[in-house]
């Protein structure tokens, strides 16, 4: 780490004391060992690391360094103008004891745990200029927090801590760190502005709900050069709040997921606007590649997608305008919830090969709105997709497919569809052009089937 012109705080420089440092303009550099952190993987270092963070904050801000070692800790609260730097060989290890994670109030209802509280290893609220960086590792000890069934969404079940949870923060930077085995979502940024995420390496292997990167009602965010391998959605934009997730760019990433590779939704109270996705590689995404969904009343609009490569995925693209209508506990939200618009989406240059599992489960790309609420102004161009085939004549004749207006949105929600490549229902001004659809095995279904599709142009594959 290039420390540049910085002060060293505490015992890192013998004889230097905190008093009087605030008068100096250079930011401080704090080694957590100067505040008693052991880094032996056994001693709880929570209090020592927190003391280092607080001392740097009181001195006007600076860098808190975790050197090589295993630092066992519960919740750490980051402050404004603090950079947490993990040196090579440093591991911040989340405590396996849920008592080490104080509950933090959360204004929206948490659907995965229930109630209006969250728990986190690294937490900040209403803070500016926060950074988490370095070549070290943050391990959330996820196996210690098994999934619980949420029976009452208003009551919290057994806590499961996120690894990083920042709410209402500005000028956030996360770079280069390896994050593994979160208790719940790995990185969750809610209501944050000016976010830069680069070079993260995220892995989860234990259980569902271990999403990778979650941007929730955030503004002005860039996700670049990240590798995400998760048991739940790899990269997902949500809007659990009545504020849209806007001005987001995702580029140069590699994702693998037991669920979706990259998703907008499901939580879509505030909607999504001005989203750009490009140069992403998807591998082994068992519940689909790219998903664009609005089902809770927010508008999804002005989305551009360019240059995706997918290997062994389920449905490469699924688009859904639905009417689930969750309000996430915001009682002032209009009831009944409106049907959010889904419009002005352009997806181009997609190369995809579907998995063998997709043959058994009948996965098909889909664009689906509702009666009277079509998906509007969508363009799919330059697609080259190999489908598994295997559809039967009976499946080709299937009719009367239920609307599933309020169901959880999933491309499998309609069952095996009568098209092997693309099924479209309730759409207006749809353009499909320059597509190449291939089959690994024969299929009795046609490539494309449309129902209630108006003012559209679908060029034959």
Distance CA 412, CA 395 (A): 14
Q: What is the mean pLDDT of each run of 10 residues along the chain (461 residues)?
A: 52 33 64 98 98 97 98 98 98 97 91 88 98 98 85 79 98 98 96 98 90 98 98 96 97 96 96 98 95 97 98 95 92 78 98 80 89 98 95 94 93 92 97 95 95 91 69
Distance of CA 157 to the CA centre of its chain: 22
Res 329: pLDDT? 87
Beta-strand ranges (E) seen in 95-216 are 104-105, 117-118, 120-125, 128-134, 137-139, 162-167, 170-175, 178-180, 187-190, 193-198, 201-203, 213-216
Instruction: Please name every residue paired with 301 in a beta bridge, in sequence order, or none if there are none.
Output: 273, 343
In the block, residue with structure tokens 């990185």: 187
Half-sphere exposure of 21 toward its Cβ, with a 13 Å CA cutoff?
Answer: 24
pTM: 0.93
Res 335: pLDDT? 72
Burial class (CB in 10 A: 0-12, 13-18, 19+), 14: exposed
Task: Label the pairing between strands 117-118 and 104-105.
Answer: antiparallel
Res 21: pLDDT? 36
Whether 302 contacts 344, CB under 8 Å: yes
Instruction: Please name every residue paired with 175 in a beta bridge, in sequence order, or none if there are none.
Output: 133, 198
Res 111: pLDDT? 82
Res 22: pLDDT? 39
User: Where do the structural domains in the chain lie, given as residue ranges?
Assistant: 266-461
Res 28: pLDDT? 94
């Amino acid at each position: 780490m290039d420390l540049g012109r910085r002060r060293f705080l505490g015992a890192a420089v013998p004889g230097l004391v905190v008093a009087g440092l605030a008068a100096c303009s250079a930011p401080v550099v704090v080694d957590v060992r100067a505040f008693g952190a052991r880094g032996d993987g056994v001693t709880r270092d929570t209090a020592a690391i927190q003391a280092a963070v607080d001392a740097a904050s009181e001195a006007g801000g600076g860098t808190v360094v975790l050197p090589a070692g295993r630092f066992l800790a519960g919740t750490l609260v980051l402050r404004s103008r603090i950079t947490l730097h993990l040196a090579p060989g440093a591991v911040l290890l989340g405590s396996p004891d849920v008592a080490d994670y104080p509950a933090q109030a959360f204004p929206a209802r948490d659907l995965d745990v229930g109630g209006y509280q969250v728990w986190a290893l690294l937490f900040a609220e209403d803070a500016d200029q926060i950074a988490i960086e370095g070549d070290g590792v943050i391990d959330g000890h996820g196996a210690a927090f098994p999934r619980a069934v949420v029976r009452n969404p208003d009551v919290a079940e057994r806590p499961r801590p996120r690894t990083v949870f920042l709410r209402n923060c500005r000028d956030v930077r996360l770079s280069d760190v390896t994050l593994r085995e979160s208790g719940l979502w790995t990185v969750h940024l809610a209501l944050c502005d000016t976010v830069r995420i680069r070079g993260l390496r995220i892995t989860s292997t234990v259980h569902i709900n271990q999403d990778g990167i979650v941007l929730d009602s955030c503004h002005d965010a860039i996700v670049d050069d990240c590798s995400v391998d998760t048991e739940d959605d790899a990269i997902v934009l949500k809007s659990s709040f009545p504020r849209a997730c806007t001005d987001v760019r995702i580029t140069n990433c590699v994702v693998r997921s037991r669920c979706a590779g990259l998703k907008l939704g499901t939580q879509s109270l505030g909607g999504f606007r001005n989203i750009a996705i490009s140069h992403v590689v998807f591998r082994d995404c068992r519940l689909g590649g790219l998903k664009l969904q609005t089902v809770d009343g927010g508008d999804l609009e002005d989305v551009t997608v360019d240059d995706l490569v997918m290997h062994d995925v389920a449905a490469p693209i699924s688009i859904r305008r639905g009417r689930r209508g969750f309000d996430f506990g915001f009682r002032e939200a209009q009831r009944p919830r409106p049907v959010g618009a889904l419009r002005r989406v352009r997806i181009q240059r997609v190369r995809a090969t579907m998995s063998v599992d997709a043959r058994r489960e009948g996965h098909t790309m889909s664009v689906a709105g509702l009666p009277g609420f079509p998906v509007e102004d969508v363009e799919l161009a330059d697609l080259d997709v190999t489908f598994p085939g295997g559809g039967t004549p009976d499946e080709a004749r299937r009719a009367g497919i239920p609307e599933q207006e309020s169901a959880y949105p999933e491309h499998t929600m309609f069952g095996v569809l009568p098209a092997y490549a693309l099924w479209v229902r309730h759409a207006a001004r749809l353009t499909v052009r320059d597509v190449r659809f291939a089959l690994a095995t024969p299929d009795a279904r046609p490539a494309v089937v449309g129902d209630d599709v108006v003012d559209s142009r679908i060029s034959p594959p």
